[in-house]
Structure 1
Amino acid sequence: MPITAPTALPTVRHSSAFRGRLGQDARSGHYAVPHRYRLHLSTADPDGLRLAIGHSLLGLDASCPVTLLPAVPDAPDGSHTALRPLYEASAHRYSGPAPAPVLSDAWSGRIVSTHAPDILRDLDLFPRAGGDPLRPCGWESTVDAVERLCAEGIEQAAQRAGRADEDPAGRAAALEVLLDTLSRLERRLAEDEYLAGGRLTAADIDLWVSLVQLDTVHRCHLDASAVHRITGFTALWSYARRLAAHPAFGTHLDLDGIARRHHGHCQGLEAAGAAVQILDWAAHAAKQG
């Protein structure tokens, strides 16, 4: 079953001040040489969690080290004070926020990119002893479709469905987009173990993190009947449970950090769905290995 993205909602997941890319060789300026770059991320942030999982699946600990940041940024604008020098070195008189994630270049002391999807794509370029590519040849369109599907059909739809300032018709429409998206993914996962090429790819990273966010963050603002409908997608949640037990996924799951980050910046109202947990993420992650 081919996966296509919905067109009902605009794509607004990533806001980036810097969007450099790694190339294949020295002529590109930034190229994927070991020990030159560093990832700065928080696994309580969904983009940071995606990058941490991809980094682990590719086995890049030696060639591209990671600096873990606190779950809750230490500045009101969402900045991490530890990242401020990198931002200021990368743009003259930079006065904007300094959020994570960041891919930095140790040779120049500057930022390459703050755009998580590009960073995840570029991690595939690093030389490594093992680990299959996250975007296998011939499956790029499927991986891209799942990325957009998760952003629009799960994350944005769930946000709108739980927003207190959204009119009832808008919330209902967003919930239907969410349920339709989950239904399409349910059908796919009833047929195949993974979303693309019969193995773990960036598509699975995107979906798993979106499901984590749906259960640990967005569910808190949905009514109980909506959450009960969401729990009915058994193949989808079985898949989420199975990946939680995978070391590259469950190891990075910071449930306490996600909760603190959510409560630190969320201004929405808690709804009855907050009491209806879908998965016991901690228990499933503990079974990994």
Structure 2
Amino acid sequence: MTVTPLAAHAADRPAPAFRGRIGRDARSGHYAVPGRYRLHLSTACPDGLRIAVTHSLLGLGTVCPATFLSAVPDGPEGGHSALRPLYEASAHRYTGPAVAPVLSDDWSGRIVSTHAPDIMRDLARRFGAGGGPSPYPCGAESEIDAVERMCAQGIEQAAQRAGSADAGPAEREVALDALLDTLGALERWLVGRTYMIRDEVTAADVELWVALVQLDTVHRHHLDASAVQRIADHPTLWAYARRLAAHPAFGTHLDLDGIERRHHARCHGLEAAGAAVRILDWAAHAAR
């Protein structure tokens, strides 16, 4: 099974401040030792939510503890003041924002990585070999990459551009068409399927679910009501999102109030009529 029809262009992610990796053994410097590493996450942030869900799927609560941060950063430039000591210990005279997510090394008191895709893969590959299902099953990497790219560009970036106050009507319409094309492809793909690419949850489902959460809880606020109704008109896709919200590894991390507060703190765009057209009642379906 492949997801070739869903492939998209490479995603544009901000360059991470730190991009270390957890290796196989002591020669790698950062190697897998239970209790050595710690996650610092805000689940109101899409990357933080992705990592938190993956962390729960792998059952790593004691192997790699997680510290959960406030929804709205309290430091300069969108950073968290609690993370400032880690950043300053990890880079001499660091002046950038102390942003989450962070994977830190408790042995050294320094940051290993701030790159969410690497963190998710290292958690699965270095700590997730306990016999349970892997979010990154053997042979599925290219499919997961395709879904990741599609979610980034076909959903998140397209939705953001479709609701941008800086874009003209024609540009917004093109972006909305791209978003609807992506949702339509996903709708057709998911007919008769429980999950995206396998018979169990994988990282592809984590990527898509978080993108759909953002689409309904953030991006729709800047779209008109007609656009949101067209987005909602994908019953198979939204039923899939609702099912995953009921999964304990997903729904327990869904901080709807935090997402709203983070959005209002960061966003300076104009609210549109679509803000009143809620697609899913996430709170009613989320596992607790």
Name the TM tier (shorter chain).
over 0.9
Cα RMSD, aligned residues only: 1.3
Q: In structure 1, what is the Cα distance between the partners aligned to 2:259 and 2:74?
A: 15
Match of 1:6 among 5, 8, 13: 8
Change (3 A) 1:121 1:14: farther
1:127 is displaced (CA, Å) by 4.9
- Which residue of structure 2 lines up, in the alignment, with residue 147 of structure 1? 148
Partner of 1:270: 271
Q: Note if 1:94 corresponds to 2:94.
A: yes
Q: 1:59 touches 1:128 (CA, 8 Å); kept in 2? A: no
Q: Check whether the contact 1:21–1:30 (CA below 8 A) recurs between aligned residues.
A: yes
- SS at 2:253's partner residue? coil
Q: Cα offset for 1:158?
A: 0.2
Residue in 2 that maps onto 1:26: 26
CA deviation vs aligned residue, 1:157-185 (integer Å, no higher than 9, x gap): 00000001101111011111101111111
Alignment partner, residue 121 of structure 1:
121
Deviation readout 1:72-104 (Å, 9 max, x if unpaired): 000241110000000001011111110000000
Once the two structures are TM-superposed, the CA of residue 130 in structure 1 deviates from its matched residue by 4.8
1:245 equivalent to 2:249? Answer: no
- Report the counterpart of residue 219 of structure 1 in structure 2: 220
TM-score, normalization by structure 2: 0.96
Aligned residues: 285
Deviation of the 1:33 alpha carbon: 1.4
Aligned-residue sequence identity (percent) comes to 70
Alpha-carbon distance, 1:14 to partner: 3.8
Aligned partner of residue 192 in structure 1, secondary structure: coil
Shift of 1:24: 1.5
**Structure 2 equivalent of residue 132 of structure 1:** 133
Deviation, structure 1 residue 268: 0.6
Work out whether residues 58 and 130 of structure 1, in 8 Å CA contact, stay in contact via their aligned partners in 2: no
Runs of at least 5 residues in structure 1 that lack an aligned partner in the other structure: none
Q: State TM-score, norm by structure 1.
A: 0.96
- The code of the aligned residue for 2:8 comes to P
Shift in alpha-carbon separation, 1:223–1:148, aligned structure 2, 3 A: same
Q: Which amino acid aligns with 2:183?
A: L
Matched AA of 1:133: S
Ranges in structure 2 where 5+ consecutive residues have no aligned partner: none
Measure the CA separation in 2 of the matches of 1:148 and 1:31: 29
Counterpart in 2 of 1:210? 211
Partner residue of 1:104?
104
Structure-1 separation of matches of 2:155 and 2:81? 31
Tell me the residue number matched to 1:38: 38
